[in-house]
Structure formats: C-alpha cells, structure tokens
Structure 1
Amino acid sequence: MLIFSKSSEMGFITQFNGKPIMASRKKVFIFFGLGIICLTLAAALIFTDPILAIAKYRTRVAINSRVHDLMKGPVTTVHISVYLFNVTNAERFIAGEDEKLKVEEVGPFTYREDRKFDKLEIDEAAGVMRYSPRFDPVFMPEESIAHPKDVYVTMPSFSMMTSVSMMSHHPYLSRMAFNMLAKQINSKPMVSIEAHNYLWGYEDTLLTLGHTFMPSWIQFDTLGLLDRMYDKNLEYTLEVGAKHEDKFLIKQLDGYAGLRNWNYEDPSERTKCNSFINAYEGLVYSTDLTPETPLRIFRNVLCRMLELDYHDTVTMDYGPKALLYKISNRTFQNGPDKECTCQRGLCVDGISDLSPCFYGLPLALSNAHFLYGGPHLFERIEGLKPDEQKHGSKILIEPKLGVVLGTTFSMQVNIVIGDATYNEDAKRFSDMILPIGYFKIVKPALPDEDKTMMYDMYITGPYLVLAMQLILFILGISMLFHTARLLYWNWVCNGQRGMEFQLCEDEKKMTVVDVDVPLMNKNSELLEKHRI
C-alpha cells in the first residue's frame, strides 16, 4: 500500500519501514578505530611475547627488584659433596713393597653453601652491580655417609708433602736442613686423621713453625681442604653486568678485567685465558642465549675459567627447553684455554696449576678421578675409576631468561710433588701427581615459584596469548564489518537512493492507492511494500 504524506515535498522508497536511522560520523570513526586497534594488537601478539616480557621484568637486575631483594639475604646456591681418597697401603708403598699407591673413595660429606652478597651495590646508570661474595657452608647429614668427625682416613700430609715438593727446588744445604727439621718433629708423609680435621684443618708442628717464622707467607696455622677453600679472611669484589644482555657477566675482579694471579696486569700477557671474556659465576646467565653463545664459568677458588661446550637442547618436564652445556675436554689440555696457567712451569696435560691462588703451595686442579686424563696420571695410582656419568658435568640453562635449571660438575685437588728423592720418607712419591679428593658441585632444584613461572611462560602462556589473538582478531573484523555496514546505509539513505516521486501539498487531496502487484521484485534489496 502506498501512502502519500504532506510532511515533505518529495518521497522515496527504501527498505526501511520508517525514517532511516543514520550513524553519525563520530560513531563510524569510533568503530573503525577500535577495529583497527584490535587487529593491530592481534598482529603484534604474533611478533611479541608478553609473557616473556613480564618474566624478564620480574628477573631484571634493578634497585628493589625481586633479584635485588633475594640478594639482600643469604642465598643457597649449591650443594658441595666432598670425596676423599683414603690410602689403603701407605706403609707398603713407602717401604717399596707395592709399586702403586692404592686409594679408595670415601664420601660424600655434603655441605650446603649459603652465599651472602656483602657490600651489594647496583649502579643502574652504569648498568653494573658490585658485591663481595661471602660463603657459609652448612653440613647436611641427610646427604652424607656419616658425620666427618666419625670417619677416619689415611691421607697425604698437606704440610709435609707440599713442603717436600717446594724444597725440591732449593739448594742442597736447604734440603738437608729441612730433612733434619722434619725428622726432629717426626713429620710423616701420611697421616691417619678424622675426615673433619682433614677438611677443616688440624694443628701440625711443621705448619706451626712455618706460620711462626714466615708469617708473611704462611698466614694460617691450620691447613684443611675446605678450610682454605672457604678462607674467611679472603675478601674480593666482583663487578658484573646488570642489563638483560650482560646480566651477571663478570666485568672486573677487584678492579681488573682479568686474573692478576696469571699476570693480567701485564698488557703483553693478556689473553682469553686470563681475561673475563664470556665468564660468569654460574649462578645466572644473560638473556636470549643461543647454542652459539660462548660461556665460561669462573669461581675464585678454581683460580681460572672453565670452558663450556654446548651439547644438546633438553625439554624439562615443567616446560622450558634448556640448553645443555658440559665443561669442555679442552679445559685441562695444554693449549690456548690454559696457556696462562703454564707461566709458572707446571704445564701437564690433565691438570691445571692452583699455586698462585693457594699461597704458592704446589696444588693442581683436574677432573675427578682424572677423567679424560692421559695414562701418565694413572701410572703409579691404583683405585681411580673415571666415569662420565659420575664425574662428568651437566649444566642446564633456560635460554630466554638465563636461569640455571641444573648444574652438576666435579673438580679434583691434587698435590704436585717434585723431586723428593732427597727425603727418605717421601722419596717414593717423587714426581707424582697425588690425588687428595674432589668436590661435586650440584645446584638444588628450582623453587616451586620459579617452576610455576617457567610453566606459565612455556605452556600456559602461549595458549593464553593465542586465545587473546583470536578474540582480538574476531573483535577487529566484527567492528570493521559493522563500520562498513554503517557506511553503506549512510550512503544509501543520505544519498536519497530509491524510487523518487512528487508528494501532494494538500492533505485533503491525499489519495490512497491499493496496489496488488508489488512495486519491487522480491529478490531486490528493497522490500516489497514501504511506507512513503
């Protein structure tokens, strides 16, 4: 039915049953803008990882950050298990009845290493952090075979054997004087002693005399394996990176970018071996690591850097894909990686000189049980059983944040004995590398809070991000579609698109016409009947 109205001079036919409702320009722009924003955010989520950004923020090094708060108090960094090589045929070997010295492994005696960061300072402007590490070892009976006070061992005498080795380079008269002194105080090459005393120091007449008459050299009156390792009188300051790209990368030790013990102060002697290039303490690493990223571990007690080699990528059960590193076989082989440690004359394949870091005592570092060492290290020792599974290394690092997921490696301490033929009691040990014991260093499992963060970052997070992408994409498309719809009807209605005709000005002359045939086809976009 057509109805002629006096309200306007012209009329038109559209699909509306009433006056067309047209959207304002502002409304159109709002829907268009929201649609573009949603699609842009959806696209941005494809190229960015908000979960990772949040995790990096939480693990940043900054004043009052979570890392800063943790470092203000004691932190349990590693568990150190000590194994001693108990000598089972000391008398027979000294008497010449046995060709080889027989040893057996006794341990572990495990200690928790609580670490403090004294004099902690974060310089955000310079992008560095400075601190003086302090260590407090706590005995862990649940991870030990027994309390070391309850275990007796027969071990090489530190004072006697190191003195014999050091005196081998002195003139004949000095050696004879030493022999007379050692005989007078009844100093022997082997001691039967509590494991605790051997680890933490015991009184020794020879050592006491040295401390009394040479205090500037021998600054201690007891000597033990752990006692020297955790020397509370030794203080040093580390400067490490505080930015994401160099987080905890060692910059300086006591103001030097290398090891003064290995002549870093001399510019002509500076090499990678004695420089802090790519060196970390092994607590945390920089972010965004790749298998090609070179890494080294430095601990002051090791007196050198340990080279790491990438081996594999391992998926952890709580989500992350960790980079698996192992201490390189090159670490104790003669070559560029240990050339600086050969400066003092000790350059034997399989071991590394420790003497500059231990008051000049003839000590050497090696892999546990001389793992990967040559046959010359085993010629006069029986009982060593190197095993990759037991004595090898494994360091797992989450590459995005540089978080250490697991650490296991072992280092052995040995006495390097020179020409001891001048001493009747010690001559059978002449020119030997004598194993004392080794440390197995293990990092405890991640706290549950950190595991949850890893699970969210690698498992839960990606699904949440995908859901956000889909929602934003659907919202964006919907808003742009609605914007197009509004623009279309504005164009149709505002442009007077339809069937136009003249309206009657006189209301009395208005005519109603009944039309049986539809004005427009049913397939048309316009409706069949409209009010005009």
Structure 2
Amino acid sequence: QNVRIDPSSLSYNMWKEIPVPFYLSVYFFNILNPEEILKGEKPQVQERGPYVYREFRHKSNITFNDNDTVSYLEYRSYRFQPAKSHGLESDYIIMPNILVLGASMMMENKPMGLKLALTLALSTLGQRAFMNRTVGEIMWGYDDPLVNMINKFFPGMFPLKGKFGLFAELNNSDSGIFTVFTGVKNMSRIHLVDKWNGLSKVNYWHSDQCNMINGTSGQMWAPFMTPKSSLEFYSPEACRSMKLIYKEPGVFQGIPTFRFVAPKTLFANGSIYPPNEGFCPCMESGIQNVSTCRFGAPLFLSQPHFYNADPVLAEAVIGLHPNQEEHSLFLDIHPVTGIPMNCSVKLELNLYIKAVKGIGQTGNIEPVVLPLLWFEERGAMEGEPLRTFYTQLVLMPKVLHYAQYVLLALGCMLLLVPVVHQIRSQEKCYLFWSSSKKGSKDKEAIQAYSESLMTSAPKGAVLQEARL
C-alpha cells in the first residue's frame, strides 16, 4: 500500500517530486591530433572533466485514469556545480563537428553533384571536420551557420530550429507523456508503462521485440523482488527498453538492497545476441546504432570507454582505458518496496566517421567509431527521506516481525497461569479430602483434646503440653 501511486501512500510525494539529489557528470574526449586524423592517422583523445550539473525533476499534469493508470509529464532542469566539477563551462574542447561529419555520412550514397554542392556550402560557411567549442556551447547549444542556412532555404527539412547542442533538448524540457499503472487495483502491474506519448510500442527498430515498450519509467519497480528478478525500463533518450540483471545483495545506510547491473549483451550486436538483431544495421559488438531515432546521424551508444564491447573499438582510439570500477553502471534497489536507494547510470555517445568521396572536409579519415563524451547520472537517498524510509519501511516492519514472537511467548505464559492455578487448587482439595479420611481414633483424640481446652482446669492443676 505504501508504494502504490496514490496520494494517500507514503511514497507518493517521493514519486511526484524525487527528493533524491541527482547529479549529471559529463566527461568529454578532447581530440589531441585533429589534423593527423584528417590524414588517416589513429585518433588520440584526452578525457576532460567531470563537468557536474545538479539535476532537478518534478512531475506535472498528473492525471489519474479509469483503467488504473496515471499520466504525467516529468520536467528536468540542470544547474552547473563548479565546486564539484573539474573545470568550467568556459573550457574549450576540440571535438568532431557532428553536423559536418554527420551530414557527410548521410550523403555518402547520394549523387556526386549533391556532394560537391555540400562541399561548396561548407567551405562558404567556414565549416570544418573538427571544431573548438566551449563546454557550455557543446552542452546547451550554439548558433550554427549550417543549420541556419538549411532552415532558411529548405524549411522543414532539418528537425532543429534553434541552437544545436548535445543536451539542448533535455534542459527545461520533458521526456514525453508517460502513462503507468498505479497498482491500486492490480499490484502485479504497479509502475509498468502502459503507453509513452500515446504509443504502446515505438517504430524506430526492425523487429516487434525491439520496438516494445517494456518495464517501468526507470524510477520505481514492483515490490517483493527476488534474485531471479530483473529491472526493465523504457528510456526515451535511448529510444528503447533496457533490462538490468541481478548481481549481488548489499546494504545501503542500514537498508538491505539488491544490486542490478547491465548484462554484457545490453549493446551486443545481432550475431552475438540474436534478440538484438532488430537494432541493426550493427557494427562491432558493444555499440548500438541509434541513427534511426537521431535524424539519421551516425551516432552510437555504448558503455564508457567501450567497456564490455569488442576490444577492437577501444584499440582504434588512443587514450581509452575501459575498466569495471569506473565505467560499469548499477542500481541498488530495496527489494521489499522496489525503490532505488543508490544508482549510477553511465552511457557514452559516439560518432562514426570516415572519408566520404566528393566531400573535401572529410579528408582521408580512416573509418572509426570516435567517442564524443560519456556521462553519469548518479543519485543516492539521504537526509530526511532516508530516515523516513528507514523508520517506516525497514525499522517498523523489523520491530513488528520480532514483536509477533514476543507477543506469542507472552500469550503462552498468560495461558499457563490459569492452568497452573487450576492444578494447585486441585492439590489443596485432595489434601483436605484425604485428611478427613483418617482413623476414628485420631478423630476421638483430637475431639477430646479440643474439649479439654474448652473446660477450665482444676485448681492447682497443670496442663500438659499436647503435641500433635
């Protein structure tokens, strides 16, 4: 009852406006040899960051429906945290020009005339394959002359209307209309997504299984988990549902937890893991092509530094060092309630680049999946919400669990009292009854002695002591 999406439940306010402080940490891959890459040499990168942002989330337009579901919009905003960051938003980063290289890849199979026209347009606008921009511009957007020109001469052709930035669409925006089950009428479906933006499945991928919207919205899960449980959730940013698997039990601030991690097959290609065939066309295992939901740009998702991916990917770029401690993701869930206690979700955004014949800006770039940045969304329950959670959902059930045995023992003791009292009463009655059955001589002696006490003794007589 306390985890249902209901205004009377204990966790409703926690669900409505997450009290856990979330932080977005972004690490950029600064290109050290852009000119050499254009000549066909191996890319060399240097990790910069983290640049940390406090993430604020709150739900609005909350509407309870008749079919045991609730619809809502969740808004997010970000605020830079200089004290937690290793650098400032004014820092300059050399990165691939996503618009130039992305457009070049999209034009690869077009007529040569169009490629030459694009080369001329890029040259006129001063666009190159690599750019030197500030962290703030890369994150939240900058005015790009190529975008402005396309929108001016070909209105409606390009999805972007304003500034171009990798996180521009996330700040001060929502992640779509989620409709999830409340669990009030049917606890077995609690928090599961019924629809997203009115859809029960998406159409980005090439199989029904990959297009399905499975699991929750990624904030809470069904209660009473076991080691056989898994965490499924739909991510609008990844345009797909993901599944995490159980790893081990643990304890967070005195609260028992189950740790769930990403399986090695999360971004595996179709040849390694056949169910992922619908996400193809695929390249090496460990990266997922998200071009179909990112306007056709050759963008790929992976774990940071190509962790759990084909080693060929990390070996193709100098400066990558994948390891489990720094680059694996996890969620620690309280198994009784399905509420996350501690989480760290890490993903990397990559761009596939290569030389495209007819477009001079691409030079002699060798085909490579080049990492742009990786980010971590981290949050842990703390403060008053943690104390309330521990008291109401951990301490009190534990006290009641042991109290039932104490009360059971006390009840047994109270039941024994009248039994013992009854037994002792029967023993007294038996003794009195058996004493009344003694010989008649004893009765006569006692009676004579009693009468002697009742009569006055003769003068000068001395009463002898009578011993019974």
Instruction: Indicate the TM-score class for this superposition, using the shorter chain for normalisation.
Output: 0.7 to 0.9
Q: Tell me whether 1:109 sits opposite 2:51 in the alignment.
A: yes
**How many aligned positions are there?**
435
1:336, 1:255 → 2: CA distance? 29
The answer to whether residue 272 in structure 2 is matched with residue 328 in structure 1 is no
Aligned amino acid, residue 421 of structure 1: K
Range with bigger deviation, 460-469 or 395-404: 460-469
The alpha carbon displacement at 1:451 in A equals 4.0
Contact 2:180 2:191 in 1 (8 A): yes
Cα deviation for residue 183 of structure 1 reads 1.4
> Which stretch shifts more, 448-457 or 373-382?
448-457
User: Match of 1:428, SS?
Assistant: coil
Residue 282 of structure 1 aligns with which residue? Answer: 218
2:361 is aligned with 1:425? yes
Which residue of structure 2 lines up, in the alignment, with residue 340 of structure 1? 278
**1:211-222 alignment runs, 5 A limit:** 211-212=151-152, 213-222=154-163
Shift of 1:346: 4.1
What are the within-5 Å matches in structure 2 for residues 43-442 of structure 1?
Answer: 57-73=1-17, 75-76=19-20, 78-96=22-40, 99-123=41-65, 126-149=67-90, 151-212=91-152, 213-230=154-171, 232=173, 236-243=176-183, 244-262=187-205, 269-271=207-209, 273-277=210-214, 279-316=215-252, 318-334=253-269, 335-342=273-280, 345-417=281-353, 420-442=356-378
Using the TM superposition, name which of 128-137 and 400-409 deviates more. 128-137
Return closer, same or farther for 1:451/1:246 CA change in 2, 3 Å cut-off. Answer: farther
Alpha-carbon separation, structure 1, partners of 2:399 and 2:74: 41
Whether the aligned pair in 1 keeps the contact of 2:140 and 2:166 (CA below 8 Å) is: yes
Name the structure 2 match of 1:505. Answer: none
**Segment of structure 1 superposing worse, 110-119 or 234-243:** 234-243
Question: Which residue of the partner structure matches residue 506 of structure 1?
Answer: none
Deviations for 1:206-263, whole angstroms, at most 9, x for unmatched residues?
121122224253232321111134473x662112222243332222212333223236
Deviation at 1:284, TM superposition (A): 1.4
From the superposition, tell whether residues 356 and 132 of structure 1 become closer, same or farther in structure 2 (CA, over 3 Å): farther
Deviations 1:434-475 (A, max 9, x none): 211011121133334424533675567535642453244223
Q: Which runs of 5+ in 2 are unaligned?
A: 438-445, 451-468
Residue number in structure 2 paired with 1:13: none
User: Hey, what's the Cα distance between the residues in 1 that align with 2:337 and 2:18?
Assistant: 22
The change in CA–CA distance for 1:314 and 1:67 in structure 2 (over 3 A counts) is: closer
Whole-Å Cα distance in 1 between the matches of residues 42 and 288 of structure 2? 23
Query: Aligned in 2, Cα 1:235/1:78: closer, same or farther, shift over 3 Å?
Result: closer
The 1:450–1:126 alpha-carbon spacing in structure 2 relative to 1, beyond 3 Å, is farther
Relative to structure 1, is the Cα distance of residues 464 and 71 closer, same or farther in structure 2, using a 3 angstrom cutoff? Answer: closer
SS at match of 2:167: helix
Give the residue type in structure 2 aligned to 1:116. Answer: H
Question: What is residue 477 of structure 1 aligned with on the other side?
Answer: 413
Query: What percentage of aligned pairs have identical amino acids?
Result: 21
Q: Deviation per CA, 1:315-368, whole angstroms, max 9, x where unpaired?
A: 33x3332111111110111124422221xx344422112223322322111111
Scaled by the length of structure 1, what TM-score is found?
A: 0.74
In structure 1, distance between residues paired with 2:414 and 2:362: 90
1:413–1:235 distance in 2 versus 1, CA, 3 Å: closer
**Does the 8 Å contact 1:76/1:114 carry over to 2?**
no
Q: 3-state DSSP class of the match of 2:204?
A: helix
Answer 1 or 2: higher relative contact order, Cα 8 Å, separation at least 6: 1
CA contact (8 A) 1:185 1:206 kept: yes
Task: Specify whether residues 137 and 492 from structure 1 end up closer, same or farther in structure 2 by C-alpha distance, changes over 3 A only.
Answer: same
**Is the contact between residue 96 and residue 130 of structure 2 (CA under 8 Å) also seen in structure 1?**
yes
Q: TM-score, normalised to structure 2's length? A: 0.83
Deviation at 1:418, TM superposition (A): 5.4
Distance across 1 between alignment mates of 2:336 and 2:17: 26
Q: CA deviation at 1:491?
A: 12
Contact 2:346 2:375 in 1 (8 A): yes
SS at 2:266 equivalent: helix
Determine the C-alpha separation between the residues in 2 that align with 1:168 and 1:347: 17
Amino acid of the residue matched to residue 83 of structure 2? E
Secondary structure of 2:380 counterpart:
coil
Matches within 5 A, 1:423-462: 423-451=359-387, 453-454=389-390, 458=394, 461-462=397-398
Deviation at 1:490? 9.7
Q: Secondary structure at the match of 2:237?
A: helix
Give the 3 Å change call, closer, same or farther, for CA 69–396 of structure 1 in structure 2: closer
Query: Residue 168 of structure 1 contacts residue 418 of structure 1 at CA under 8 Å; is this kept in 2?
Result: no
Could you say what the CA RMSD is over the residues aligned between the two structures, in angstroms? Answer: 3.1
TM-aligned CA deviation for residue 172 of structure 1: 1.6
Change (3 A) 1:356 1:229: farther
Query: How far apart are 1:140 and its partner, in Å?
Result: 1.8
